[in-house]
Structure 1
Amino acid sequence: MRNKNFKLFLLLEALLLLLTIFLLIKNWDLLFVLLAGAFLVKIGLHKNKKNSILFWVGWFMITFTLLSVFSVWFMIILFLAYLIMNGDQLFSDLNLGSLVEFPWKKKHYVGVEVEEPENHSGKRKKQKWIGNSTTGTSIFEWNDINLSVFMGDTIIDLGNTLLPNGENIILVRKGFGQTRIIVPAGVGVSLQQSAIQGSVIFNHEYYPLSNETFTIYSKDYATATRRVKIVSNTLFGDFEVIYL
């Protein structure tokens, strides 16, 4: 899957690069500024004065020219999106994983201790927007889960949860990253996942998504005494449901 995403990323970047070259050739003014900037950079390097005015003026002209082409902005946005989703794997393949640590990949472990049932009306909880998080590290009283995460991986483990009978709700809103929910055997699951680009892995079955909303039910959902309804909205990322 990651290898396929990388090939698609390279293909899109190559197409955008060809489009950029084509647009520069059509616009003689931008092409002239680009070539003039490259010439000034070459002169600055030839004189071994990398900090010379000519060198930096040349780079300014090159940067200004490239940023004047809309396809370059798409290349930058696509690169940043791929870096956010698969940057750790990319740097690992290049043996640079020890040199780069992404802030949204830092592990964050969250545990909720056992407590007596209480009135949760008006209760507030701070959301963690960036970074990995895990819910369900110890036995805890069930409350419907409502998560908002900008980027990072999220694990929700229901194995230690005292799920009440009936339908229980999990809401997830995420920008970038993977979400994984671990469900005990005998619990019915309903999942509705919306994503611009990503996939759903439901009980080891894989379903790719591209600007789609996907709904799936476990076989025992209608007859199960304990059920979990999951509604998720993700920009880019995978959603996985695993049964214990």
Structure 2
Amino acid sequence: MKRRWQLFWVLEIALLMVLGYQIVQNTASLIGVLTGACALLLGIKGHFWRAFWLTLGTILMVVGVFLIPTIWIILFVALIGALFAMSGKQGGRLPWLQKQYWAVRTKAPVPKAGCTTHHAWFGDEHIGGQTFEWDDINMTLIAGDTIIDLGNTLLPPGDSTIVVRKGLGKTRILIPVGVGVMVDHATLAGTLTINGTEHSLHNEAVKHYSDDYDTAARRVHILTNVIVGDLEVLSV
């Protein structure tokens, strides 16, 4: 959590620096900000038409700043940070802070006819309450924590695939011992943890193979793309 707040403040400061540079480069915005600052100064220091100068200065500065599109990105990032802060006080009730848990149990194969699976936008979905035939997992999520538990699953011989695309949040995948694993993970910021070994990533992609990948009768390919978040792969 501390690392996320550090990333938040670094991003906000960087965006503010970009905003300042763009204001200087934009003549209309610069005139508005400077004129507004002068009007505010007159309102604070002066004793006549004080309310007028303060109001005029505020309006000119707001208009000058909002001429730059970067301010909307700054406000959006600030909103996300405020929602995370509120979630800590409210017990983590925001939808993307809820857990998404997959506990896969298999049954005998049936003739294939194709299917369509609906996934939640956020990590508030519980899957695994019923027995179903193993099928590759392909999911997209805006934000939230996801747990995929294959610990009690008898995977079919050969290769199986898990694909996860996510905006924000942590993903944890539990793999049965004896199953070969290939992890192909890409993220802008986060950590990759494989059986306790942690790697910090910054706009990087990592491909990892387990020691028994070439000899294992059953193998799982894990393909993940996350904007900001952690991935943990653990043998159980």
- The C-alpha deviation readout for 1:6-60, integer Å capped at 9, x for no partner, is 23432343344355446556767535534665757x97xxxxxxxx999887655
Equivalences for 1:59-98 in 2 at 5 Å? Answer: 60-79=59-78, 83=81, 88=84, 90-91=85-86, 97-98=89-90
TM-score (structure 2 length as normaliser): 0.76
CA distance in 1, matches of 2:91, 2:231: 29
CA distance in 1, matches of 2:177, 2:92: 39
Question: Relative to 1, partners in 2 of residues 1:54 and 1:68: Cα closer, same or farther, differing over 3 Å?
Answer: same
TM-score (structure 1 length as normaliser): 0.74
Question: Relative to 1, partners in 2 of residues 1:135 and 1:55: Cα closer, same or farther, differing over 3 Å?
Answer: farther
Shift of 1:101: 3.7
Q: Which residue of 1 aligns with 2:46?
A: none
Q: Is the 8 A contact 1:198 1:210 kept in 2?
A: yes
Q: Aligned with 1:189: secondary structure?
A: strand
CA distance in 2, matches of 1:185, 1:202: 13
Q: Identity, % of aligned pairs?
A: 35
CA distance in 1, matches of 2:123, 2:32: 42
- The C-alpha deviation readout for 1:167-212, integer Å capped at 9, x for no partner, is 1111112222211101121111111011222221111111122222
Q: Which residue of 2 aligns with 1:188?
A: 180
CA distance in 2, matches of 1:219, 1:74: 44
Given candidates 158, 161, 165, the residue that maps to 1:166 is 158
Q: Aligned with 1:141: secondary structure?
A: coil
RMSD: 3.6
1:198 is aligned with what amino acid? G
User: Aligned residue pairs: how many?
Assistant: 228
Equivalences for 1:102-181 in 2 at 5 Å? Answer: 102-108=94-100, 115-136=107-128, 140-181=132-173
Q: Which residue of 1 aligns with 2:10?
A: 11
Matched, 1:198 2:197: no
Which deviates the most, 7-16 or 160-169?
A: 7-16
Q: Is the 8 A contact 2:161 2:220 kept in 1?
A: yes
Q: Aligned with 2:90: secondary structure?
A: coil
Identify unmatched segments of 5+ residues in structure 2.
44-50
